[in-house]
Amino acid sequence: MVGARRIWIERDYESCSGCRRCEIACSLYHEGRVWPEASRVRVFMLIPGVEIPHLCFQCEDYPCVNACPSGALSADAETGAVRVDASRCTSCGVCITACPGRVPHLHPRKDHIVICDLCDGDPRCVEACRMGRWNALRAVPRVEGFSYRLYAKTPEILTSAVARRLFGEEIAREVEG
């Protein structure tokens, strides 16, 4: 465990190779087997050459938690991560709509939402990315008072921004539709 300090997973989208080691590490930790579809981090490739690791942005105002009508979501007092009480989740999807990045998603077989819980303060995706020498994901100390929600974007918006930086306007417009 990283410790009692709160962390945030910093993303360097241009460094992501699309190897999906993060998805594998996450599913092994949470599901006990390689099952990328059940991972709390998902890698999107909406255009070739641009892979986007997408996971909870840990918004300071927790719009998903506040929107949950069944009280299934809560913020962990120690890590600040969003927790899901699967027994209370009704899979209504209100949290998905409330999330500015549309990060929460339904578990592929169980009837509840999944979202990054920072692996209790020691995110396995970060370790897997570091071991792969990509370093697209890094655990950094969380800065109190900083608006992490500013980073919460959908995979489409993130892909468009990265494509624009890497390939120019024409490719970015393909993603934007």
Residue positions counted in the chain: 177
Q: Which residues of 97-130 are buried (b: 16+ CB within 10 A; e: fewer)?
A: ebbbbbbbbebeeeebbbbbbbbebebbbbbbbe
> Cα-flanking dihedrals φ and ψ of residue 141, to 5°?
-60, 135
- Report the alpha-carbon distance of residue 115 to residue 152 in Å, rounded: 14
Whole-number pLDDT of residue 2: 43
pLDDT digits (tens, 9 = 90+) for 43-75: 999 988 899 999 999 999 999 999 999 999 999
Which pLDDT band, with edges at 50, 70 and 90, does 111 fall under? very high
Is the pTM of the predicted complex or chain greater than 0.85?
yes
Instruction: Estimate to the nearest angstrom the gap between the alpha carbon of 52 and the chain centroid.
Output: 10
Pair type for strands 137-141 and 7-11: antiparallel
Calpha distance 152→163 (Å, rounded): 17
User: What is the distance between the alpha carbons of residues 112 and 78, in angstroms, rounded to a whole number?
Assistant: 23
2-43 pLDDT, tens digit per residue, is 445 799 999 999 999 999 999 999 999 999 999 999 999 999
Query: What are 118-174's pLDDT values in tens digits?
Result: 999 999 999 999 998 889 999 999 998 888 988 999 999 999 999 888 888 777 676
Which residue type, as a one-letter code, is found at position 59? C
Angle, vertex CA 165, rays to CA 172 and CA 124, nearest 5: 100
Quick: pLDDT tens for 78-90. Answer: 999 999 999 999 9
